[in-house]
A = this chain, B = another copy of it.
Amino acid sequence: MTPASNTPSEPGSQPKGRASIYDVAAHAGVSAQTVSRVANGQTNVRPTTRDRVLESIQALGYRPNSAARNLKSGKFRSIGFVTFNLATLGNEQTLNAVAEASEKAGYTTTLLPVTDPTKLDVAGAFSRLEEQAVDGIILVMSAEVGSLDELKVTLGLPLVIVDSDAMLPYTIVDTDQEQGSGLAVRHLLDLGHRDIVHVSGPEISFSARRRAETYRTTMAEAGLEARPVLVGDWSAQSALALTRELFADGPPPTAVFAGNDQMALGVIHAIRERGLRVPEDVSVVGFDDAEEAAVSWPALTTVHQNFDQVGRNATSLLLSLIDGAPDTRRKVLIPTHLVVRDSTGPVRSGPVPSA
């Protein structure tokens, strides 16, 4: 059946390395072009020929070489995901959403870890990103990066920034920190709390600073005095230590707004150590709505952050940039919503909401 004409390279032997398009062409007795057409599902190939080529592809285990394709097309069909630490609920979920969204668009996601944020001097590490086999970059900052302004100059690749200072002159997608934090603080206010403490993430984090700011302004709007912000590092451990100190220093507040759920757990732990109850003695609100929030004891009231939407938006924005859309430097803010569970309740004694 198959006209297995002998070629000098002995096609009958087992395949060394990988079969190229020429091997298939020789095996099927057609030109490389025809193989290419079959491999790419072009229509203008006679069914007989197509079948023969398909057989040869099978027989030789041929797979197109993506490097050659990339070289030819000038595209990689891959987007780069740059982050300083993956070990964060938000970053991880964002990555997950990005990976799924880009896969749907036929793109692959390449991780470009930058071990040390401060090492990200623009001249050095960043320009190296251009060599990577990616068509565009999603930069998840979650922390400050020096001289970002030069980025635009240095980086010759489409760029979308996630979780960042929305003042930056780039296309940005982020959770609406202000809206979310307002929700949390006003919830406590509505429950009658007047003495509310905020335990925040690290200074270096934009979102942490934004949440702390909103805590202060919302308190001010209510005509209340904000307590000094307790600055942690997102970890439950840091919140635990901070809250212990707080209790050691003076009377406990009636409510705590924690910068994330992890820290909320740490706060709750410290409250219990002190012999107090949640929410009867102290109410606690978190931020993120991580999986454990629903099953902690008590179930945590928290601000739900929609990382999936952040990731999907960032991806589609980047993809359109890659497709040549002009960079309009849009800021997309993804709204949050409050999930009220059992860690918050009305103040036990003291002023009741005006009603």
Interface string of A133-168 (1 = CB under 8 A from B): 100000000000000000000001000000000000
Taken together as a complex, chains A and B put the C-alpha atoms of A65 and B157 apart, in Å, by 13
CB of A18 within 8 A of chain B?
Answer: yes
Q: How many whole Å from A60's CB to the nearest CB in chain B?
A: 11
A353 within 8 A of B: no
Contacting residue for A86 out of B76, B99, B112, B156, CB 8 A: B99
Q: Out of B109, B113, B266, which one reaches A111, CB within 8 Å? A: B109
Q: What is the minimal beta-carbon distance from A119 to any residue of chain B, in angstroms?
A: 13
Does A283 belong to the interface (CB within 8 Å)? no
Which residue of chain B lies nearest to A86 when distances are taken between CB atoms in the complex? B96
Q: Is A240 a contact of B295 with CB atoms below 8 Å? A: yes
Q: Is A235 an interface residue (CB 8 A)?
A: yes
Q: What separation, in Å, do the CA atoms of A307 and B108 have in the docked complex? A: 24
Is the pair A86, B95 in contact by a Cβ cutoff of 8 Å? yes
Interface residue? A292 (CB, 8 A): yes
Using an 8 Å CB-CB cutoff, how does the interface string of A305-324 with B read, 1 for contact, 0 for none? 00000000000000000000
Chain B proximity of A58: nearest CB distance (Å) = 10
In Å, the complex CA distance between A130 and B17 comes to 13
Given A18-B156, A294-B237, CB of A113 within 8 Å of CB of B133: no
Write out the residue numbers on chain B whose beta carbons fall within 8 Å of the beta carbon of A99: 86, 111, 113
Say whether A51 faces chain B, with CB atoms less than 8 Å apart: no
Number of copies: 2
Q: Are A66 and B131 in contact (CB-based, < 8 A)?
A: yes
Is A185 interfacial (CB-CB < 8 Å)? no
A138 to chain B, nearest CB (A): 12
Say yes or no: A268 contacts B297, CB within 8 Å: yes
Any B CB within 8 A of the CB of A207: no
Instruction: Considering the complex, give the chain B residue whose CB is closest to the CB of A278.
Output: B297
The interface-forming segment of A24-32, A67-75, A198-206, A328-336 is: A67-75
Kindly state the interface size class of chain A when it binds its partner: 35 or more
Provide the A100-111 mask, 1 if CB < 8 A to any CB of B, else 0. Answer: 100100001111
Residues of B within 8 A of A112 (CB): 108
Determine the chain B residues whose CB is within 8 A of the CB of A109 once the complex forms.
Answer: 110-111, 113
How far apart are the CA atoms of A332 and B20 in the complex, in Å?
A: 35
**CB < 8 Å: which of B103, B115, B132, B299 contacts A108?**
B132
Alpha-carbon separation in the docked complex, A61 to B262 (Å): 44
Interface centre among A127, A269, A297 (most CB of B within 10 A): A297
Task: Pick the residue among B86, B103, B295 that contacts A92 (CB under 8 A).
Answer: B86
Contact between B71 and A127, CB atoms less than 8 A apart: no
Kindly identify, within residues 282 to 304 of chain A, every residue whose CB is under 8 Å from any CB belonging to chain B.
291-292, 294-297, 299
**Are B64 and A67 interface neighbours, CB within 8 A?**
no
Q: How far is the CA of A319 from the CA of B17 in the complex (A)?
A: 18
A residues in contact (CB < 8 Å) with B = 18, 61, 63-68, 70-71, 74, 76, 78, 81, 86-87, 92-93, 95-96, 99-100, 103, 108-113, 115, 127, 130-133, 156, 235-237, 240, 262, 265-266, 268-269, 272, 291-292, 294-297, 299
